[in-house]
Amino acid sequence: MAFRQRREKLRAILTGSGCIRPGSVYDATSIRIAEDLGFELGMFGGSVASLAVLGDPDIALITLTELAEQMRRMSRAAHLPVLVDADHGYGNALNVRRTVQELEAAGAAGLTIEDTLLPQAFGESKTQLISLEEGVGKMKAALDGRSDPSLVIIGRTGAVSITNLEDAIVRARAYEATGVDALFFTGIKSRHELEAISAATTLPIVLGGAPEEMTGLDYLISQRVRIALQGHAPFAAATQAVYETLKALREGTSPKNLKGIASAELTSRAMREAETKQRSGDFLGLKT
C-alpha cells in the first residue's frame, strides 16, 4: 500500500463520525500483530520509541534519525497507518520542518508536534511550555515541511495540566488557525475541561489519556474526539514477558517448560513466513 493511502485512511478517521483507539506499536513485529488484529491505526509514542530504541526514559534523548529509522522499519513491515509522536520536533521551528520531511519519507501517516519545552531546562523540575508565538511558528513550519498534502499534521498541547484550561484554549485556537489537521490534548482530567475545549475549537480532537468517566466512546464522539489513546501497555507487557522468561531460564527452568511463549503458528504469522516461502519458490526455484 502506498504511503498516501495510509495517510488517507488516517484522514478518514479524523473526518469520520466515530472514535477509534489505536494500537500502540514500536517495532516491525508489534505493528504486524496490530495489523493482523484489525486495528485501524498504530500509535508510535515518544516514550516507547525511547524505550525500544535506547532503553532510556522519555526525556528527549532519542534523535530524529533514530525515530525516523524505526518508523521506516515499521512502514516496511506492515501497511497499518501510523501516527507518530514527534515530540517538540527536535529543536526550533526549522528543526520541526526537517522532522516532518524525515517522517514523511519514512512512511508516517501523520505526526504530532507539541509545545512542551524540551529538553528540560536547567534548574527547572516542572514541565514548561514554549511561548504561544513559538508554538505557532512550529505549527507553520510543520505545514511548510510536508510535500505530500495527505500527510496529517496535528498540533499538540499539554497546557491544561501545565498552565490552565484558558491557556490551552488560546493555544488550541491559535494552532487551529495555522491550518493543522487536528488538535491533540494531554492532561485533560474532567468532562468540563474536554467540553470547554471542544466548544472553543472546530478541528478533530486526539485525546492522550483520560479518567474513567471519560472513556465511553459515545461521550468522546459527542465531543468530537476521533482518536483516544490507551497508553502503551503492549510494550510494558512485552517487557514483563521477557523478564519472566529470562528469569525462569536463569533459575534453571527447561525451555520446554516455559510459560507464555508464542506458538510456532503465531511466530510464523508475525514473520510472514508463508509469504517468504512463496517468494523462495517463485524467485529461487525452491520447493515449498
- For residue 10, the domain's CATH number is 3.20.20.60
User: How would residue 1 be classed by pLDDT, with cut points 50, 70 and 90?
Assistant: low
How large is the average pLDDT for residues 118-131? 94
Q: Which domain range does residue 266 map to?
A: 238-284
Residue 176 pLDDT exceeds 60: yes
Q: For residue 25, count other CB atoms closer than 10 A to its CB.
A: 31
CA angle 157, 158, 163 (to 5 degrees): 115
Residue 265 pLDDT exceeds 90: yes
Q: What was the pLDDT predicted at 225?
A: 98
Q: What was the pLDDT predicted at 13?
A: 98
How large is the average pLDDT for residues 268-276? 94
Q: What was the pLDDT predicted at 213?
A: 86
Q: Are residues 219 and 260 in the same domain?
A: no
Q: What was the pLDDT predicted at 287?
A: 83
Contact 179, 223 (CB under 8 A): no
Q: Are residues 149 and 245 in the same domain?
A: no
Residue 232 pLDDT exceeds 90: yes
Of 216, 233, 250, which residue is a domain's last?
A: 233
Alpha carbon of residue 209 to chain centroid:
13
Q: Are residues 158 and 270 in the same domain?
A: no
Helices H / strands E in the chain, number of each:
13, 8
Q: Are residues 175 and 128 in the same domain?
A: yes
Report the DSSP pairing between strands 205-208 and 225-228.
parallel
Q: Are residues 226 and 269 in the same domain?
A: no
Residues in the chain: 288
Q: Are residues 122 and 56 in the same domain?
A: yes
Q: Are residues 193 and 263 in the same domain?
A: no
Q: What was the pLDDT predicted at 288?
A: 65
User: How would residue 235 be classed by pLDDT, with cut points 50, 70 and 90?
Assistant: very high
Q: Are residues 167 and 268 in the same domain?
A: no
- What mean pLDDT, rounded, does the chain reach? 96
Q: Are residues 44 and 186 in the same domain?
A: yes
For 47-175, list the strands marked E by DSSP: 82-85, 110-114, 152-157
User: How would residue 210 be classed by pLDDT, with cut points 50, 70 and 90?
Assistant: confident
Number of domains comprising the chain: 2
Q: Are residues 247 and 156 in the same domain?
A: no
Cα(72)–Cα(3) distance, integer angstroms: 11
Q: Which of 48-57, 118-127, 146-155 has the least mean pLDDT?
A: 118-127
Which of 227, 236, 266 has the alpha carbon at shortest distance from 32? 266
Q: Are residues 116 and 140 in the same domain?
A: yes
Q: Are residues 153 and 247 in the same domain?
A: no
Residue 29 pLDDT exceeds 80: yes
Residue 218 pLDDT exceeds 80: yes
Amino acid in the structure at residue 208: G
Residue 243 pLDDT exceeds 90: yes
